[in-house]
Amino acid sequence: MNVLLYPLATEKAINMVERNNLITYIVDTRANKSEIKEEFEKTFNVKVAKVNVANSIKNYKKAYITLEKQFSASDIALKLKLV
């Protein structure tokens, strides 16, 4: 199962990258926090501090992935071409 579907590139999501060291991803609706954390760490070679999820009425799930202090969400956003 592919857990991470695509990054969210809204204005609010980009502001959270800069302010909170946080990346917002749309993920598989069946994925749990530990699966999201594990796949994100493998994919980008970073350490994740915390994962919060929000289910939408429109049948998708957002994951708010906060990185550890020594890693930069801005660098990942550049790799993903969000910024």
| pLDDT band for position 83 (cuts 50, 70, 90) | confident
76 three-state secondary structure: helix
| pLDDT band for position 10 (cuts 50, 70, 90) | very high
What pLDDT score does 30 carry? Answer: 95
CATH code of the region 4-79: 3.30.70.330
Q: What does the domain layout of the chain look like in residue ranges?
A: 4-79
Answering whether pTM is above 0.75, one says yes
Specify whether the backbone of 65 is left (phi greater than 0), alpha (psi in -120 to 50) or beta: beta
What pLDDT score does 66 carry? Answer: 97
* Terminal Cα distance for the chain, rounded: 28
| pLDDT tops 80 at residue 1 | no
* Phi, psi dihedrals of residue 38, rounded to the nearest 5°: -60, -45
d(CA 55, CA 69): 27
Q: Which residues pair with 66 in a beta bridge?
A: 22, 50
